[in-house]
Structure 1
Amino acid sequence: MTPSPAEPGSGGGFVRRKRVWFHHCDPAGIVFYPQYLLLVNEVLQDWFETGLEVGYAGLFAERRVGIPTVRLECDFIAPSRLGDDLDITLTVARIGKSSFELRYECAGTEPDDVRVRIRAVLVTTSLDGHGTIPIPQDIRTAMERYT
């Protein structure tokens, strides 16, 4: 089951449930820490597609806009194990001229069961000139609904 995103502007963030599969785990059966980055990137893509209603593939292929991560901070609080369900919540912490800050919280399905918190700063770039560009207005407007 995948929880629905909260209503934009409700402060609840965009939530997706992810199952911990074998390929996410190290030999001890816990999530190998870089796998969290893959999981949150999947949530980012889903947020663009369904939360912001901006075609993620078209952003790159047609609009030639990149959104690389330029800063990343991770706090690993508790382990996640094979078979666990994680609710990953994405919230918008800040929107600047060409960058935006996202916060992710990866939690088990029980109350107060936070496993990982991630802070990511992304910047909008031209895939042709490779320099920073202002966040496109339609994306900015859609993101503002989640602040």
Structure 2
Amino acid sequence: MDETLADGAPREFVREKKVYFHHCDPAGVVFFAQYLVFVNEMVQEWFEVGLAVDYAGLLRERRIGMPTARLECDFLAPSRMGDTLRLALSVDRTGTSSCRLRLVGTGPDPSDVRVRITALLVCTSLDSHRSVPLPDDVRTAMRDWPAPDPNR
């Protein structure tokens, strides 16, 4: 199930990320594994800011993890030190105990797609390391995200 707004546009959590020296390989382009770090950062920030779910509390107090079970990555163009990437996270679908997210990274021009990543996250108990249903508050936050604009 694609997660879209009423006008048909995908719901996106967007952040800009400046590319620093430590993100790059000896060729001067973003080392591919750094994009996976960007995904992890985006997921945590989306939980905290977009969904208003305390990600650290989910792990520490509630003993719920959201590990990545599957990744698909397409690296389409290089990003270099000094570039600013536009990273857009969207929900492709949610299941009983998982969600599939998409991350698209572009340069300043939105048609300049640098990377496309699909990540399957599985909700797990940190005690048993087995999948568990997404907590109701997390599922509701994902379903209702983004919250309707009260000024509309």
Tell me the TM-score normalized by structure 2: 0.88
Q: State how far apart, in whole Å, the 2-side matches of 1:115 and 1:40 are.
A: 14
Q: State how far apart, in whole Å, the 1-side matches of 2:139 and 2:81 are.
A: 37
Aligned residue type for 1:98: S
Post-superposition Cα deviations, 1:23-55, rounded to whole Å, max 9, x if no partner, equal 000111100100000011111110000000001
Any residues of structure 2 matched to 1:104-119 within 5 Å, and which? Answer: 104-119=103-118
SS of 2:115's partner is: strand
Shift of residue 111, structure 1, vs aligned partner = 3.0
Q: State how far apart, in whole Å, the 1-side matches of 2:131 and 2:114 are.
A: 33
8 Å Cα contact 2:19-2:84 kept in structure 1? yes
Residue of structure 1 in register with 2:79 after alignment: 80
RMSD: 1.5
Q: State how far apart, in whole Å, the 2-side matches of 1:145 and 1:102 are.
A: 16
Residue of structure 2 in register with 1:141 after alignment: 140
* 2:61 counterpart of 1:62: yes
Unmatched tracts of structure 1, length 5 or more: 1-7
Q: State how far apart, in whole Å, the 1-side matches of 2:145 and 2:104 are.
A: 15
Q: State how far apart, in whole Å, the 1-side matches of 2:14 and 2:48 are.
A: 13
Residue of structure 2 in register with 1:19 after alignment: 18
Q: How many residues align?
A: 140
Aligned residue type for 2:23: H
Q: State how far apart, in whole Å, the 2-side matches of 1:146 and 1:37 are.
A: 23
SS of 2:74's partner is: strand
Q: State how far apart, in whole Å, the 1-side matches of 2:73 and 2:11 are.
A: 21
Q: State how far apart, in whole Å, the 1-side matches of 2:145 and 2:32 are.
A: 27
8 Å Cα contact 1:13-1:146 kept in structure 2? no
SS of 2:69's partner is: strand
Residue of structure 2 in register with 1:5 after alignment: none
8 Å Cα contact 2:98-2:134 kept in structure 1? yes
Residue identity (%): 59
Q: State how far apart, in whole Å, the 1-side matches of 2:18 and 2:39 are.
A: 12
Aligned residue type for 2:93: R
Post-superposition Cα deviations, 1:64-89, rounded to whole Å, max 9, x if no partner, equal 00111000000000000000000100
Residue of structure 2 in register with 1:122 after alignment: 121
